[in-house]
Amino acid sequence: MEKNNKEEKIKNIASLEKKQDEQPKKSKEAKNYKWKDLNYFNKLNVKNYVATFLLIVVFYFVLSFTFNPNDPFSYTKGIYINILIYVLFSVSLNITVGLMGQLNLGQAGFIAIGGYSAAFISKILASYNLPPFLQLILVSLFGGLVAAVFGFLVGGSTLRLRGDYLAIITLAFGEIVKYIIQNLDFLGGATGLSNIPPLLSFSNTYFIVVISIVIIAMAMTSRKGKEVLSIREDEIAAENIGIGLNRVKLYGFAFSAFFAGVGGSLFAHNVGILTPDKFGFMFSIEILVMVVFGGLGSITGAVISATALTVLNEYLREVSQFRYLVYAIILIVLMIFRPSGLFGTKELTIPRFVRKIKNIKNKTLNKNKNKK
């Protein structure tokens, strides 16, 4: 009996020790499981981030070798800078129109506010002899913040509106901004604000635009970004699951206006003189066409479409009066054959690109095997 009791005690002690050893393993597995559930860590792929970073750096150096950086009047450099600015315009509008599903026809107003604010402050800071890049960063942030304030106000005044009614209000806002600027003498009035310091170079424009797009992409994959996307899909369902529609709409409009203002700052320092007639209704339509062409909700689509249409503008410079006719034809063809745009709501990522290449390769190999 004593021997049996001793054996049972030894077995119990051994089983307890096993349980103690298994507990930390289970807790580690539980922790890992919790980390996997988090959206950020679920999406985090170090290889993809490194590959994207290297691609951005390589792309920068490839473009830099195609023009003379010491030539201030380089035509190629001017086109690159113009493309980058319009890419930022397109991506910023894609936040409200594509990702949030709110038709905004007043983006030119936010660009004008950001551009004039940044240019006005830039002329004041010119006497302090700051480094050009630092000055450009400061005035761009200022222009973006001023535009974001107006974005917040416009978003707040249109919370209950959607569709055509929202489009009319935002269109009116853009036109009001243009006519108010025409009557402000300290902004140059109808003749325009001139002598804006030439702070832009290809390098600093590329840096600002890339950082802006990265911030937008990260924000749209965050929890706030998912809330913005839920409004586009179904406002009633989003409200029923506890998402504050008013709060999210304000966030979306202010966020979009901020980057429109940053783009306006770059635009102002690129052209050197700002006149109110540059920010009319057709300017908003031009940017909207870029967003629709790339795909409503696709950031990479907005980048590619803005690049393609800006290059097309250069080719149509000699027949600029037919530019909007060409835009109309492109949109009609797109709506017939691909209503969702080039990319729809999808993004062109490195893993997806690699998968498509592999699929094409596998299909060709299968065809060759079948022929044999």
The answer to whether the CB of 91 falls within 8 A of the CB of 260 is no
- Has residue 40 got a pLDDT over 50? no
Position 272 in a domain: yes
**pLDDT score, position 361:** 66
Q: Which of 99-108, 132-141, 319-328 has the lowest mean pLDDT?
A: 319-328
Please write down the HEC assignment for all residues of 253-290: HHHHHHHHHHHHHHHHHHHCCECHHHHCHHHHHHHHHH
Q: How confident is the model at residue 116 (pLDDT cuts 50, 70, 90)?
A: very high
**pLDDT score, position 14:** 52
Give dist(CA 79, CA 56) in Å, integer: 18
Q: How confident is the model at residue 8 (pLDDT cuts 50, 70, 90)?
A: low
Tell me what the mean pLDDT of segment 240-254 comes to.
83
Q: Which residue has the higher pLDDT, 294 or 119?
A: 119
**pLDDT score, position 38:** 35
- Has residue 36 got a pLDDT over 90? no
Q: Hey, which residues does 193 pair with through a beta bridge?
A: 274
Q: How confident is the model at residue 28 (pLDDT cuts 50, 70, 90)?
A: very low
| Average predicted confidence (pLDDT) for the chain | 79
**pLDDT score, position 301:** 85
Tell me what the mean pLDDT of segment 186-196 comes to.
85
Position 21 in a domain: no
Tell me what the mean pLDDT of segment 360-366 comes to.
70
What tokens were used for 180? 């108010």
Q: How confident is the model at residue 309 (pLDDT cuts 50, 70, 90)?
A: confident
pLDDT tens digits for 144-176? 999 999 999 988 888 777 778 888 888 889 889
The answer to whether the CB of 279 falls within 8 A of the CB of 108 is yes
Position 242 in a domain: yes
Residue 333: which CATH number? 1.10.3470
* Candidate ranges 11-20, 225-234, 259-268; pick with highest mean pLDDT: 259-268
Position 348 in a domain: yes
Rounded to the nearest 10°, the torsion over CA 297, 303, 308, 312 is 100
Position 104 in a domain: yes
Share of the chain above pLDDT 70, in %: 81
Q: How confident is the model at residue 29 (pLDDT cuts 50, 70, 90)?
A: very low
Range of the domain at 243: 72-371
Share of the chain above pLDDT 90, in %: 18
Q: Which residue has the higher pLDDT, 347 or 317?
A: 317
Q: How confident is the model at residue 351 (pLDDT cuts 50, 70, 90)?
A: low
- Has residue 213 got a pLDDT over 50? yes
Position 329 in a domain: yes
- Has residue 66 got a pLDDT over 90? no
**Cα-based distances in Å from 315 to 238, 267, 352:** 45, 20, 32
Q: Hey, which residues does 274 pair with through a beta bridge?
A: 193
Position 182 in a domain: yes
Please count the structural domains in the chain. 1
Provide the whole-model pTM. 0.80
Position 232 in a domain: yes
